[in-house]
Structure 1
Amino acid sequence: MIQKRTTEPSKNSVHAPWIHAAGILTALWLMIVFLITAVEAVAYWTPGYYKMEYEKYQVLDDLPEMTMDDLLSVTDEMMAYLRGNREDLHVFTTMGGEYREFFNAREIAHMEDVRGLFLGGLWLRRIGLMFTLAFAALLYFWKRGRKDRSAYLARAVPGSLCAGTGVFFAACLALAAVISTDFSRYFVVFHHIFFDNDLWILDPDTDMLINIVPEAFFMDTALRIAIVFATFVTIFFGACLFLWLKGRKAAEKGGN
Protein backbone atom coordinates (compact mmCIF):
# COMPACT_ATOMS: atom_id res chain seq x y z
CA MET A 1 0.00 0.00 0.00
CA ILE A 2 1.33 3.38 -1.03
CA GLN A 3 0.82 6.05 1.55
CA LYS A 4 0.36 9.59 0.28
CA ARG A 5 3.05 11.84 1.59
CA THR A 6 1.96 15.17 2.95
CA THR A 7 4.12 18.15 3.73
CA GLU A 8 3.17 20.04 6.84
CA PRO A 9 4.86 23.09 8.23
CA SER A 10 7.06 22.48 11.20
CA LYS A 11 5.60 23.39 14.55
CA ASN A 12 8.67 25.50 15.13
CA SER A 13 8.43 27.43 11.82
CA VAL A 14 7.77 31.14 12.04
CA HIS A 15 6.30 33.39 9.38
CA ALA A 16 5.50 37.03 10.06
CA PRO A 17 4.78 39.04 6.89
CA TRP A 18 4.48 42.25 8.88
CA ILE A 19 8.19 42.09 9.67
CA HIS A 20 9.08 42.13 5.96
CA ALA A 21 6.77 45.07 5.30
CA ALA A 22 8.03 46.99 8.34
CA GLY A 23 11.62 46.18 7.41
CA ILE A 24 11.20 47.59 3.91
CA LEU A 25 9.54 50.71 5.32
CA THR A 26 12.37 51.09 7.84
CA ALA A 27 14.92 50.84 5.02
CA LEU A 28 13.12 53.62 3.13
CA TRP A 29 13.17 55.83 6.22
CA LEU A 30 16.87 55.08 6.70
CA MET A 31 17.54 56.14 3.11
CA ILE A 32 16.02 59.52 3.97
CA VAL A 33 18.19 59.64 7.10
CA PHE A 34 21.29 58.90 5.00
CA LEU A 35 20.33 61.49 2.39
CA ILE A 36 19.77 64.28 4.92
CA THR A 37 23.00 63.33 6.67
CA ALA A 38 24.85 63.43 3.35
CA VAL A 39 23.52 66.95 2.71
CA GLU A 40 24.58 68.03 6.19
CA ALA A 41 27.99 66.40 5.81
CA VAL A 42 28.74 68.36 2.65
CA ALA A 43 27.18 71.64 3.82
CA TYR A 44 28.55 71.70 7.37
CA TRP A 45 31.19 69.03 7.93
CA THR A 46 33.54 69.50 4.95
CA PRO A 47 36.43 71.76 6.04
CA GLY A 48 37.40 74.37 3.48
CA TYR A 49 34.66 73.41 1.03
CA TYR A 50 33.20 76.89 0.55
CA LYS A 51 36.61 78.54 0.23
CA MET A 52 37.58 75.95 -2.37
CA GLU A 53 34.39 76.60 -4.37
CA TYR A 54 34.70 80.37 -4.09
CA GLU A 55 38.26 80.24 -5.39
CA LYS A 56 37.32 77.76 -8.12
CA TYR A 57 34.64 80.06 -9.52
CA GLN A 58 36.44 83.31 -8.60
CA VAL A 59 33.36 84.71 -6.90
CA LEU A 60 35.29 87.59 -5.34
CA ASP A 61 35.65 89.04 -8.84
CA ASP A 62 31.89 89.66 -8.86
CA LEU A 63 31.77 91.22 -5.40
CA PRO A 64 32.68 94.85 -4.62
CA GLU A 65 36.11 94.78 -2.93
CA MET A 66 35.39 92.05 -0.43
CA THR A 67 38.01 89.82 1.23
CA MET A 68 37.80 86.03 1.39
CA ASP A 69 37.72 86.13 5.19
CA ASP A 70 34.71 88.45 5.15
CA LEU A 71 32.96 86.26 2.59
CA LEU A 72 33.57 83.13 4.63
CA SER A 73 32.28 84.93 7.72
CA VAL A 74 29.06 85.81 5.86
CA THR A 75 28.80 82.18 4.71
CA ASP A 76 29.14 80.93 8.29
CA GLU A 77 26.32 83.21 9.39
CA MET A 78 24.15 82.09 6.48
CA MET A 79 24.66 78.40 7.27
CA ALA A 80 23.98 79.04 10.96
CA TYR A 81 20.70 80.67 9.92
CA LEU A 82 19.71 77.73 7.71
CA ARG A 83 20.39 75.31 10.54
CA GLY A 84 18.25 77.31 12.96
CA ASN A 85 21.15 78.65 15.03
CA ARG A 86 20.53 82.26 14.06
CA GLU A 87 17.22 84.11 14.20
CA ASP A 88 17.56 86.25 11.05
CA LEU A 89 19.77 86.80 8.02
CA HIS A 90 20.57 90.45 8.55
CA VAL A 91 24.32 90.00 8.16
CA PHE A 92 26.64 93.00 7.94
CA THR A 93 30.12 93.04 6.40
CA THR A 94 32.59 95.35 4.69
CA MET A 95 32.09 95.71 0.94
CA GLY A 96 33.72 98.33 -1.25
CA GLY A 97 35.09 100.10 1.80
CA GLU A 98 31.59 100.38 3.27
CA TYR A 99 30.15 98.50 6.24
CA ARG A 100 26.78 97.37 4.93
CA GLU A 101 24.17 94.61 4.97
CA PHE A 102 25.15 91.77 2.64
CA PHE A 103 21.72 90.33 1.72
CA ASN A 104 18.84 92.40 0.40
CA ALA A 105 15.14 91.95 1.19
CA ARG A 106 14.48 89.56 -1.71
CA GLU A 107 17.38 87.32 -0.80
CA ILE A 108 16.35 87.24 2.85
CA ALA A 109 12.80 86.28 1.89
CA HIS A 110 14.08 83.49 -0.38
CA MET A 111 16.48 82.17 2.23
CA GLU A 112 13.61 81.99 4.69
CA ASP A 113 12.02 79.44 2.34
CA VAL A 114 15.33 77.58 2.01
CA ARG A 115 15.63 77.48 5.80
CA GLY A 116 12.23 75.83 5.93
CA LEU A 117 13.52 73.06 3.66
CA PHE A 118 16.65 72.56 5.76
CA LEU A 119 14.75 72.38 9.04
CA GLY A 120 12.09 70.16 7.48
CA GLY A 121 14.80 67.77 6.35
CA LEU A 122 16.22 67.61 9.87
CA TRP A 123 12.77 66.77 11.21
CA LEU A 124 12.39 64.01 8.62
CA ARG A 125 15.69 62.58 9.80
CA ARG A 126 14.48 62.58 13.41
CA ILE A 127 11.28 60.81 12.39
CA GLY A 128 13.28 58.22 10.44
CA LEU A 129 15.54 57.53 13.39
CA MET A 130 12.59 57.26 15.78
CA PHE A 131 10.81 54.86 13.41
CA THR A 132 13.94 52.72 13.17
CA LEU A 133 14.34 52.60 16.95
CA ALA A 134 10.67 51.72 17.38
CA PHE A 135 11.01 48.87 14.85
CA ALA A 136 14.12 47.56 16.64
CA ALA A 137 12.37 47.69 20.01
CA LEU A 138 9.33 45.89 18.64
CA LEU A 139 11.50 43.11 17.23
CA TYR A 140 13.38 42.79 20.51
CA PHE A 141 10.22 42.23 22.54
CA TRP A 142 8.64 40.02 19.85
CA LYS A 143 11.53 37.54 19.89
CA ARG A 144 12.20 37.46 23.64
CA GLY A 145 12.55 33.89 24.87
CA ARG A 146 12.00 32.35 21.41
CA LYS A 147 15.03 30.89 19.65
CA ASP A 148 12.98 30.11 16.54
CA ARG A 149 11.94 33.75 16.27
CA SER A 150 15.54 34.90 16.67
CA ALA A 151 16.61 32.60 13.84
CA TYR A 152 13.76 33.90 11.69
CA LEU A 153 14.69 37.53 12.34
CA ALA A 154 18.31 36.80 11.42
CA ARG A 155 17.08 36.18 7.87
CA ALA A 156 13.90 38.24 7.55
CA VAL A 157 15.13 41.59 8.84
CA PRO A 158 18.37 41.88 6.81
CA GLY A 159 16.53 40.57 3.76
CA SER A 160 13.76 43.15 4.02
CA LEU A 161 16.27 45.93 4.65
CA CYS A 162 18.18 44.85 1.54
CA ALA A 163 14.97 44.90 -0.49
CA GLY A 164 13.95 48.37 0.67
CA THR A 165 17.46 49.73 0.14
CA GLY A 166 17.65 48.25 -3.35
CA VAL A 167 14.33 49.78 -4.39
CA PHE A 168 15.24 53.24 -3.10
CA PHE A 169 18.76 53.23 -4.51
CA ALA A 170 17.54 52.05 -7.91
CA ALA A 171 15.02 54.90 -7.95
CA CYS A 172 17.78 57.37 -7.02
CA LEU A 173 20.03 56.09 -9.80
CA ALA A 174 17.21 56.46 -12.32
CA LEU A 175 16.49 59.99 -11.09
CA ALA A 176 20.18 60.92 -11.22
CA ALA A 177 20.43 59.59 -14.77
CA VAL A 178 17.50 61.77 -15.83
CA ILE A 179 18.83 64.89 -14.07
CA SER A 180 22.30 64.45 -15.56
CA THR A 181 20.87 64.87 -19.06
CA ASP A 182 20.04 68.54 -18.38
CA PHE A 183 20.97 69.79 -14.91
CA SER A 184 19.85 73.36 -15.60
CA ARG A 185 16.37 72.26 -16.60
CA TYR A 186 15.85 70.06 -13.55
CA PHE A 187 17.41 72.69 -11.32
CA VAL A 188 14.50 74.91 -12.31
CA VAL A 189 12.02 72.04 -11.90
CA PHE A 190 13.33 71.46 -8.36
CA HIS A 191 12.63 75.08 -7.44
CA HIS A 192 9.14 74.95 -8.93
CA ILE A 193 8.39 71.85 -6.84
CA PHE A 194 9.65 73.17 -3.51
CA PHE A 195 8.90 76.89 -3.77
CA ASP A 196 5.57 78.56 -4.44
CA ASN A 197 7.06 81.90 -5.47
CA ASP A 198 9.69 83.36 -7.81
CA LEU A 199 12.00 84.70 -5.10
CA TRP A 200 14.64 82.15 -6.13
CA ILE A 201 15.06 83.92 -9.48
CA LEU A 202 17.87 86.31 -8.55
CA ASP A 203 19.63 89.10 -10.48
CA PRO A 204 23.46 88.99 -10.35
CA ASP A 205 23.54 92.79 -10.74
CA THR A 206 21.62 93.38 -7.50
CA ASP A 207 21.65 90.12 -5.54
CA MET A 208 24.86 88.90 -3.88
CA LEU A 209 23.59 85.37 -3.28
CA ILE A 210 23.55 84.38 -6.96
CA ASN A 211 27.15 85.58 -7.26
CA ILE A 212 28.55 83.52 -4.37
CA VAL A 213 26.59 80.34 -5.20
CA PRO A 214 26.32 80.08 -9.01
CA GLU A 215 24.69 77.11 -10.69
CA ALA A 216 28.04 75.34 -11.08
CA PHE A 217 28.41 75.48 -7.30
CA PHE A 218 25.13 73.60 -6.95
CA MET A 219 26.30 71.02 -9.49
CA ASP A 220 29.47 70.38 -7.50
CA THR A 221 27.52 70.20 -4.26
CA ALA A 222 24.92 67.82 -5.70
CA LEU A 223 27.71 65.53 -6.93
CA ARG A 224 29.41 65.51 -3.53
CA ILE A 225 26.12 64.77 -1.78
CA ALA A 226 25.46 61.92 -4.22
CA ILE A 227 28.89 60.41 -3.54
CA VAL A 228 28.50 60.62 0.25
CA PHE A 229 24.96 59.23 0.07
CA ALA A 230 26.05 56.38 -2.21
CA THR A 231 28.84 55.54 0.24
CA PHE A 232 26.39 55.36 3.16
CA VAL A 233 23.96 53.22 1.18
CA THR A 234 26.64 50.86 -0.14
CA ILE A 235 28.04 50.22 3.34
CA PHE A 236 24.55 49.68 4.77
CA PHE A 237 23.46 47.41 1.93
CA GLY A 238 26.68 45.40 2.17
CA ALA A 239 26.22 44.89 5.92
CA CYS A 240 22.57 43.81 5.48
CA LEU A 241 23.49 41.44 2.65
CA PHE A 242 26.24 39.88 4.75
CA LEU A 243 23.85 39.35 7.67
CA TRP A 244 21.15 37.93 5.41
CA LEU A 245 23.55 35.40 3.86
CA LYS A 246 24.83 34.50 7.32
CA GLY A 247 21.31 33.98 8.65
CA ARG A 248 20.33 31.93 5.60
CA LYS A 249 23.38 29.71 5.96
CA ALA A 250 22.63 29.16 9.65
CA ALA A 251 19.02 28.28 8.79
CA GLU A 252 20.15 25.71 6.23
CA LYS A 253 22.45 24.09 8.74
CA GLY A 254 19.67 23.99 11.30
CA GLY A 255 17.21 22.54 8.81
CA ASN A 256 14.73 25.40 9.11
Structure 2
Amino acid sequence: MKYLHRLAGIAAAFCIMIVLFITSVEAVVYWTPGYFEKEYTKYNVLDSLPAMTMDDLLHVTDEMMDYLRGDREDLHVETTMGGQQREFFNEREIAHMEDVQVLFLKAMSIRTVCLVLTVLLLAFMAATKARMRKVLPPSLCMGTGLFFGLITALGLIISTDFSRYFIMFHHIFFTNDLWILDPSTDMLINIVPEGFFMDTAARIALLFGSLSLILFGICLFLTIKNQKKAA
Protein backbone atom coordinates (compact mmCIF):
# COMPACT_ATOMS: atom_id res chain seq x y z
CA MET A 1 0.00 0.00 0.00
CA LYS A 2 2.95 2.30 0.69
CA TYR A 3 4.00 2.26 -2.96
CA LEU A 4 0.41 2.77 -4.09
CA HIS A 5 0.19 5.84 -1.85
CA ARG A 6 3.43 7.17 -3.30
CA LEU A 7 2.16 6.58 -6.84
CA ALA A 8 -1.07 8.40 -6.01
CA GLY A 9 0.95 11.32 -4.67
CA ILE A 10 3.04 11.50 -7.85
CA ALA A 11 -0.11 11.33 -9.99
CA ALA A 12 -1.61 14.16 -7.91
CA ALA A 13 1.54 16.21 -8.53
CA PHE A 14 1.21 15.70 -12.29
CA CYS A 15 -2.42 16.84 -12.10
CA ILE A 16 -1.45 19.93 -10.10
CA MET A 17 1.29 20.78 -12.60
CA ILE A 18 -1.15 20.54 -15.50
CA VAL A 19 -3.48 22.88 -13.60
CA LEU A 20 -0.62 25.32 -13.03
CA PHE A 21 0.42 25.22 -16.69
CA ILE A 22 -3.07 25.87 -18.08
CA THR A 23 -3.63 28.56 -15.45
CA SER A 24 -0.33 30.19 -16.44
CA VAL A 25 -1.54 30.42 -20.03
CA GLU A 26 -4.82 31.97 -18.89
CA ALA A 27 -3.05 34.37 -16.52
CA VAL A 28 -0.75 35.75 -19.22
CA VAL A 29 -3.41 36.38 -21.89
CA TYR A 30 -6.34 37.28 -19.62
CA TRP A 31 -5.04 38.59 -16.31
CA THR A 32 -2.00 40.66 -17.34
CA PRO A 33 -3.08 44.34 -17.45
CA GLY A 34 -2.33 46.05 -20.77
CA TYR A 35 -0.56 43.00 -22.19
CA PHE A 36 -2.01 43.16 -25.69
CA GLU A 37 -1.56 46.93 -25.96
CA LYS A 38 2.12 46.61 -25.00
CA GLU A 39 2.66 43.85 -27.56
CA TYR A 40 0.78 45.73 -30.29
CA THR A 41 2.94 48.78 -29.63
CA LYS A 42 6.15 46.74 -29.51
CA TYR A 43 5.50 45.21 -32.93
CA ASN A 44 3.92 48.31 -34.52
CA VAL A 45 0.80 46.33 -35.30
CA LEU A 46 -1.26 49.39 -36.25
CA ASP A 47 1.15 50.05 -39.15
CA SER A 48 -0.06 46.86 -40.82
CA LEU A 49 -3.75 47.71 -40.40
CA PRO A 50 -5.72 50.15 -42.58
CA ALA A 51 -6.16 53.33 -40.49
CA MET A 52 -7.32 51.75 -37.23
CA THR A 53 -7.03 53.22 -33.74
CA MET A 54 -5.55 51.38 -30.76
CA ASP A 55 -8.85 51.67 -28.87
CA ASP A 56 -10.72 49.98 -31.73
CA LEU A 57 -8.09 47.25 -31.97
CA LEU A 58 -8.23 46.59 -28.22
CA HIS A 59 -12.02 46.37 -28.45
CA VAL A 60 -11.72 43.75 -31.19
CA THR A 61 -9.16 41.90 -29.07
CA ASP A 62 -11.43 41.90 -26.03
CA GLU A 63 -14.26 40.45 -28.11
CA MET A 64 -11.94 37.81 -29.55
CA MET A 65 -10.71 36.76 -26.10
CA ASP A 66 -14.29 36.64 -24.79
CA TYR A 67 -15.15 34.37 -27.71
CA LEU A 68 -12.29 31.98 -26.96
CA ARG A 69 -13.58 31.21 -23.49
CA GLY A 70 -17.20 30.96 -24.59
CA ASP A 71 -18.41 34.35 -23.34
CA ARG A 72 -19.43 35.41 -26.85
CA GLU A 73 -21.49 33.39 -29.33
CA ASP A 74 -19.65 34.35 -32.53
CA LEU A 75 -16.72 36.32 -33.86
CA HIS A 76 -18.58 38.73 -36.13
CA VAL A 77 -17.03 41.88 -34.68
CA GLU A 78 -17.80 45.27 -36.22
CA THR A 79 -15.12 47.96 -36.12
CA THR A 80 -13.85 51.02 -38.00
CA MET A 81 -11.00 50.50 -40.45
CA GLY A 82 -9.89 53.00 -43.07
CA GLY A 83 -12.75 55.28 -42.10
CA GLN A 84 -15.35 52.62 -42.87
CA GLN A 85 -17.44 50.33 -40.68
CA ARG A 86 -16.71 46.68 -41.42
CA GLU A 87 -16.24 43.26 -39.83
CA PHE A 88 -12.70 42.79 -38.61
CA PHE A 89 -12.49 39.04 -39.22
CA ASN A 90 -13.27 37.36 -42.53
CA GLU A 91 -14.86 33.92 -42.88
CA ARG A 92 -11.56 32.04 -43.04
CA GLU A 93 -10.31 33.69 -39.86
CA ILE A 94 -13.59 33.01 -38.08
CA ALA A 95 -13.44 29.34 -39.10
CA HIS A 96 -9.89 29.08 -37.77
CA MET A 97 -10.80 30.76 -34.50
CA GLU A 98 -13.65 28.29 -34.07
CA ASP A 99 -10.98 25.57 -34.04
CA VAL A 100 -8.87 27.58 -31.59
CA GLN A 101 -11.87 28.01 -29.31
CA VAL A 102 -12.39 24.24 -29.23
CA LEU A 103 -8.77 23.77 -28.10
CA PHE A 104 -9.05 26.49 -25.48
CA LEU A 105 -12.29 25.12 -24.02
CA LYS A 106 -10.83 21.60 -23.99
CA ALA A 107 -7.86 22.92 -22.03
CA MET A 108 -10.23 24.47 -19.49
CA SER A 109 -12.06 21.13 -19.21
CA ILE A 110 -8.76 19.27 -18.73
CA ARG A 111 -7.89 21.65 -15.90
CA THR A 112 -11.22 20.92 -14.20
CA VAL A 113 -10.71 17.16 -14.60
CA CYS A 114 -7.21 17.46 -13.12
CA LEU A 115 -8.54 19.38 -10.13
CA VAL A 116 -11.16 16.70 -9.52
CA LEU A 117 -8.58 13.92 -9.92
CA THR A 118 -6.28 15.64 -7.42
CA VAL A 119 -9.06 15.75 -4.84
CA LEU A 120 -9.96 12.10 -5.50
CA LEU A 121 -6.35 10.95 -5.22
CA LEU A 122 -5.87 12.79 -1.93
CA ALA A 123 -9.19 11.40 -0.67
CA PHE A 124 -8.04 7.89 -1.62
CA MET A 125 -4.80 8.36 0.31
CA ALA A 126 -6.69 9.62 3.35
CA ALA A 127 -9.32 6.86 3.17
CA THR A 128 -6.67 4.14 3.00
CA LYS A 129 -4.89 5.60 6.01
CA ALA A 130 -1.81 6.89 4.22
CA ARG A 131 0.69 8.67 6.44
CA MET A 132 0.03 11.95 4.64
CA ARG A 133 2.72 14.03 6.31
CA LYS A 134 5.35 11.40 5.56
CA VAL A 135 4.26 10.23 2.11
CA LEU A 136 2.64 13.24 0.41
CA PRO A 137 5.43 15.89 0.44
CA PRO A 138 8.16 13.66 -1.07
CA SER A 139 5.69 12.23 -3.59
CA LEU A 140 4.68 15.72 -4.69
CA CYS A 141 8.37 16.65 -4.88
CA MET A 142 9.09 13.71 -7.13
CA GLY A 143 6.07 14.27 -9.38
CA THR A 144 6.67 18.02 -9.62
CA GLY A 145 10.33 17.49 -10.45
CA LEU A 146 9.61 14.89 -13.12
CA PHE A 147 6.89 16.96 -14.80
CA PHE A 148 8.94 20.16 -14.67
CA GLY A 149 11.94 18.34 -16.09
CA LEU A 150 9.90 17.05 -19.03
CA ILE A 151 8.38 20.47 -19.74
CA THR A 152 11.79 22.15 -19.45
CA ALA A 153 13.33 19.68 -21.90
CA LEU A 154 10.45 20.27 -24.33
CA GLY A 155 10.81 24.03 -23.93
CA LEU A 156 14.54 23.89 -24.65
CA ILE A 157 13.91 21.86 -27.80
CA ILE A 158 11.26 24.33 -29.00
CA SER A 159 13.54 27.30 -28.29
CA THR A 160 16.12 25.99 -30.79
CA ASP A 161 13.73 26.72 -33.69
CA PHE A 162 10.50 28.36 -32.55
CA SER A 163 9.11 28.79 -36.08
CA ARG A 164 9.55 25.11 -36.92
CA TYR A 165 7.85 23.86 -33.78
CA PHE A 166 5.14 26.51 -34.00
CA ILE A 167 4.21 25.13 -37.42
CA MET A 168 4.47 21.57 -36.09
CA PHE A 169 2.06 22.50 -33.29
CA HIS A 170 -0.54 23.59 -35.84
CA HIS A 171 -0.13 20.41 -37.87
CA ILE A 172 -0.68 18.33 -34.71
CA PHE A 173 -3.68 20.19 -33.29
CA PHE A 174 -5.51 21.30 -36.45
CA THR A 175 -6.91 19.00 -39.11
CA ASN A 176 -7.13 21.71 -41.80
CA ASP A 177 -5.03 24.53 -43.26
CA LEU A 178 -7.24 27.39 -42.06
CA TRP A 179 -4.37 28.52 -39.81
CA ILE A 180 -2.34 29.45 -42.90
CA LEU A 181 -3.34 33.09 -43.29
CA ASP A 182 -2.50 35.81 -45.83
CA PRO A 183 -1.31 39.14 -44.33
CA SER A 184 -2.80 41.03 -47.29
CA THR A 185 -6.34 39.79 -46.64
CA ASP A 186 -6.40 38.34 -43.12
CA MET A 187 -6.10 40.83 -40.27
CA LEU A 188 -5.58 38.17 -37.60
CA ILE A 189 -2.07 37.33 -38.69
CA ASN A 190 -1.18 41.01 -38.66
CA ILE A 191 -2.21 41.61 -35.05
CA VAL A 192 -0.47 38.51 -33.67
CA PRO A 193 2.91 38.18 -35.44
CA GLU A 194 5.36 35.43 -34.55
CA GLY A 195 7.12 37.73 -32.08
CA PHE A 196 3.88 38.02 -30.11
CA PHE A 197 3.69 34.25 -29.74
CA MET A 198 7.35 34.05 -28.73
CA ASP A 199 6.87 36.72 -26.06
CA THR A 200 3.71 35.01 -24.82
CA ALA A 201 5.40 31.61 -24.65
CA ALA A 202 8.31 33.15 -22.70
CA ARG A 203 5.94 34.79 -20.20
CA ILE A 204 4.00 31.56 -19.74
CA ALA A 205 7.25 29.64 -19.20
CA LEU A 206 8.44 32.20 -16.62
CA LEU A 207 5.17 32.15 -14.68
CA PHE A 208 4.79 28.38 -14.83
CA GLY A 209 8.42 27.90 -13.82
CA SER A 210 8.02 30.25 -10.85
CA LEU A 211 4.85 28.52 -9.64
CA SER A 212 6.47 25.10 -10.08
CA LEU A 213 9.55 26.10 -8.09
CA ILE A 214 7.37 27.49 -5.30
CA LEU A 215 5.41 24.23 -5.13
CA PHE A 216 8.60 22.15 -5.26
CA GLY A 217 10.22 24.33 -2.59
CA ILE A 218 7.28 23.96 -0.20
CA CYS A 219 7.19 20.17 -0.68
CA LEU A 220 10.96 19.91 -0.23
CA PHE A 221 10.82 22.01 2.94
CA LEU A 222 8.08 19.79 4.40
CA THR A 223 9.95 16.64 3.38
CA ILE A 224 13.16 17.74 5.11
CA LYS A 225 11.23 18.95 8.16
CA ASN A 226 9.45 15.60 8.53
CA GLN A 227 12.68 13.68 8.08
CA LYS A 228 14.30 15.68 10.89
CA LYS A 229 11.34 14.98 13.17
CA ALA A 230 11.58 11.27 12.42
CA ALA A 231 15.33 11.18 13.08
TM-score bracket relative to the smaller structure: over 0.9
Paired with 1:123 and 1:112, the residues of 2 have a C-alpha distance of: 17
- Per-residue CA deviations over 1:196-220 (Å, capped at 9, x if unaligned) read 1111010000000000000110000
Paired with 1:140 and 1:132, the residues of 2 have a C-alpha distance of: 12
Q: Which amino acid in the other structure matches residue 42 of structure 1?
A: V
Stretches of structure 2 that go unaligned for 5 or more consecutive residues are none
The residue number in structure 2 matching 1:141 is 127
The residue number in structure 2 matching 1:5 is none
Q: Which amino acid in the other structure matches residue 56 of structure 2?
A: D
| CA positional deviation for 1:141 | 3.3
SS in 1 for 2:207: helix
Stretch deviating more after TM superposition (133-142 or 180-189): 133-142
1:230 aligns with 2:209: yes
1:241 aligns with 2:227: no
The residue number in structure 2 matching 1:219 is 198
Q: Aligned residue pairs: how many?
A: 231
User: TM-score normalised to the size of structure 1?
Assistant: 0.88
SS in 2 for 1:90: coil
Paired with 2:206 and 2:220, the residues of 1 have a C-alpha distance of: 21
Paired with 2:122 and 2:159, the residues of 1 have a C-alpha distance of: 37
The residue number in structure 2 matching 1:17 is 3
Paired with 1:240 and 1:125, the residues of 2 have a C-alpha distance of: 21
Cα RMSD (Å): 1.0
The answer to whether the Cα contact below 8 Å between 2:12 and 2:122 also exists between their aligned partners in 1 is no
The answer to whether the Cα contact below 8 Å between 2:79 and 2:86 also exists between their aligned partners in 1 is yes
Q: Which amino acid in the other structure matches residue 208 of structure 2?
A: F
Stretches of structure 1 that go unaligned for 5 or more consecutive residues are 1-14, 144-148
| CA positional deviation for 1:139 | 3.0
Stretch deviating more after TM superposition (59-68 or 243-252): 243-252
1:58 aligns with 2:47: no
The residue number in structure 2 matching 1:103 is 89
Q: Which amino acid in the other structure matches residue 236 of structure 1?
A: L
SS in 1 for 2:86: strand
- Identity percentage over the alignment? 61
| CA positional deviation for 1:222 | 0.2
The residue number in structure 2 matching 1:159 is 138
Paired with 1:67 and 1:123, the residues of 2 have a C-alpha distance of: 36
Runs of 4+ in 1 over 4 A off after TM superposition: none
For the pair shown, the structure with the greater C-alpha radius of gyration is: 1
The residue number in structure 2 matching 1:43 is 29
